Amino acid sequence: MTANRNELETNKEIVRRFLEDIYSTGKLERIGEVCGDDYTWHGEAGPTDKADVHGLEKFREAVAEFKIAMPDATVKIHDMVAEGDRVAVRFTETGTHSGADFAGVPPTGKRIEWSGIGLYRIAGGKLVEEWFNEDSLSIMKQLGAI
């Protein structure tokens, strides 16, 4: 299936809305507006120590757990490319490790910045799957864990 230009722009807007309007603002109760019920997240072990998260509620819980550790975490999108039902994003994230343990590290009060890339799949107007990778080494160095 080939997406037309309008569909590609719509898909990019869904991803932008998730990252900037919901995640970065901490309005996690709105995740269901852009993510499907069967949402699947594939990534590095994060605050839940799971490499994959299945289902919208489990994903919301995992994001909420991260936002407790870094409540002011925000994403700045640098590049966004869409093709078919996929959107790729290169971003920088910043946050202050002030709320809870993160990856076994007690709150440090440090403001850190790291880069990452996400690949999102959209179906039926919602995000349904994500492959996520971030610079974990940089995060752990900045937190003083390495």
Query: Under CATH, what is the fold of the domain 5-142?
Result: Nuclear Transport Factor 2; Chain: A, (3.10.450)
The predicted structure's pLDDT at residue 46 = 52
Where in the chain are the domains?
A: 5-142
Terminal-residue alpha carbon distance, the chain: 46
Q: What is the pLDDT of residues 107-125, one digit of tens each?
A: 999 999 999 999 999 999 9
Question: pLDDT tens digits, the chain, 146 residues: what are they?
Answer: 567 999 999 999 999 999 999 999 999 999 999 999 999 999 875 545 557 899 999 999 999 999 999 999 999 999 999 999 999 999 999 999 999 999 899 999 999 999 999 999 999 999 999 999 999 999 999 999 99
* pLDDT over 70, % of the chain: 95
Quick check: 39 and 22 in contact, CB under 8 A? Answer: no
Model pTM score: 0.91
Give the separation between CA 22 and CA 28, rounded to whole angstroms. 6
The predicted structure's pLDDT at residue 82 = 98
Cite the beta strand spans of 17-84 per DSSP E. Answer: 35-42, 52-54, 74-83
Quick check: 91 and 117 in contact, CB under 8 A? Answer: yes
